Amino acid sequence: MRVLGIESSCDETGVALYDSRSGALVHALHSQVELHRAYGGVVPELASRDHVQRLLPLINEVLQRSGCQRRDIDAIAVTAGPGLAGALLVGCGVAAGLGFALGKPVVPVHHLEGHLLSPLLADPAPAFPFVSLLVSGGHTQLLQVISPGQYVLLGETLDDAAGEAFDKTAQMLGLGYPGGPEVSQLAMVGAPGTLRLPRPMIDSATLDMSFSGLKTAVLTAVQRIDPANASARADIARAFVDAVVDVLTAKAVQALARTGLKQLVVAGGVGANVQLRAGLDQAVTARGGRVYYPPPQLCTDNGAMIAYAGYVRLARDGAGATRSGAHPLRVHPRWDLCDLAAG
C-alpha cells in the first residue's frame, strides 16, 4: 500500500510517500523558520499562506522522486490536529480534494500520534508495548503505548512544554528562533555547576512536570548578568539544559519503573537534543532498558511520520480509519491524544 502523508499543522510543510510493502519512504520538507524568524515565533496567517504555496509543488516533487504517478497513491494521510486551524485546513483541503479526485481514502492523523510512531521507522525499532516521552514545542507527555491507538497518559507538564521552555530561554538569552538547537549549542560551552537552577516537581509522587518556574529562574539569572558577558550566558544555558534533562530523565525512569516496561521511545522536536539523549541513554541503559529515537531527520515535524501513522491506522481499522464523508474538512486545533476515538 502506498500512503501519501501531508503535514501542515504549524510551520513546516511536509509531504511523504510511504510504501508499506517495500518500506520505501520518500519525503520532502519546507521549513518556514526564515519566514517567522523576524517575529520571534510563528505567525499563523503567514504560516497558512505559505502552506498554500508549498504543498502542491512538494507533492509533485515526492511523486517524481519516488517514480510514482498520482494514480499509484492508495490512500492519503493528513494531519487533522492539533495545531493552527488555518494551517491544518490547508493540508486537509488538499488531502480532501486529492482524495475526491483520485477516489482514494483520506485518513485524518493526530500529529502527536505521528511523532509517537515515528521511532518505528528507525532500525532497530521498538516493539509494543513501550513508554513514550513526547517532547515537542506544544506538548510534554509520558505515555504508556500498548498498541497503535491505545495510549494511557502517565504524566504531562502542568504548564509550559519543554520545547516552549527552550524557545523562551533562547529569547531571554538573545538567541534566535527556534530556540532549542541554539540553547543546546550554547550550553555546550557553558561550565557545569557554575549556576544551579531549580528542577521543578522532580521529587513529586506523580509523573507530572512543570517548566514555568524554571523559566522564571532563567529570567532572574539573566537579569543578574552583563548581557555582553558571553561566558555567563553560556553558563545559564548550561544550567537550564542540565535542569530540563534531569527532570525529563527522572520522570522517564520513573515511568519505566511504574509500568514495568524496559523500552523508552523519545519523540518530538526536543528529542533531537543531544544532552537529553545522552542523559536518557545513560540512565535507562544503567537500569537494563533501552531508548529508541526516530531517524534524526524525522524528529521535528515531517510528512513521513504522518504517512506512516496513516498506514498503521488503515492496517488496523481499514475503512473505519477514513474520514467520514459528512465532514471532509474537519480539523481539530485542540485534540487529546488519549481521546482519538472522538476524532
Helix boundaries (H) for the chain = 33-37, 44-66, 85-102, 111-117, 162-172, 179-188, 212-224, 230-259, 274-286, 304-317
Please state the closest distance from residue 313 (CB atom) to ligand KG4, in A: 19
Q: In the set 7, 167, 235, 242, which binds ligand KG4 (CB under 6 A)?
A: 167
What grid cell was written down for 238? 548550561
Asked if residue 249 binds Zn ion (CB under 5 A), the reply is no
Asked if residue 138 binds ligand KG4 (CB under 6 A), the reply is yes
Asked if residue 263 binds Zn ion (CB under 5 A), the reply is no
Count of positions on this chain that bind Zn ion (CB under 5 A): 2
| Sequential DSSP letters for 190-239 | SPTTSS----TTTT-SSS-B--HHHHHHHHHHHHHS-TT-HHHHHHHHHH
Composition of the chain by helix, strand, coil, percent to 5: 50, 20, 30
Among positions 262-301, residues that touch ligand KG4 (CB under 6 A) are 268-270, 272-273, 300-301
Distance in angstroms (rounded) separating the CA atoms of residues 57 and 104: 20
Please state the closest distance from residue 225 (CB atom) to ligand KG4, in A: 22
Distance in angstroms (rounded) separating the CA atoms of residues 269 and 305: 13
Interaction mask 123-152, Zn ion, x per CB under 5 A: -------------x----------------
Out of Zn ion, ligand KG4, none, what residue 254 binds, judged by CB under 5 to 8 A for its kind, is none
Distance in angstroms (rounded) separating the CA atoms of residues 162 and 139: 7
Asked if residue 118 binds ligand KG4 (CB under 6 A), the reply is no
Burial (0-12, 13-18, 19+ Cβ within 10 Å), 121: middle
Please state the closest distance from residue 8 (CB atom) to ligand KG4, in A: 12
Q: Closest CB to ligand KG4 among 10 and 250?
A: 10
Q: Closest CB to ligand KG4 among 249 and 273?
A: 273
Asked if residue 301 binds Zn ion (CB under 5 A), the reply is yes
Hey, how many other C-beta atoms are within 10 angstroms of the C-beta on 275? 16
Q: In the set 99, 105, 119, 178, which binds ligand KG4 (CB under 6 A)?
A: 178
- Amino acid at the residue 270: V
What grid cell was written down for 272? 533531537
Interaction mask 19-58, ligand KG4, x per CB under 6 A: ----------------------------------------
Residues that bind ligand KG4 (CB under 6 A): 10, 136-138, 163, 166-167, 178-181, 184, 268-270, 272-273, 300-301
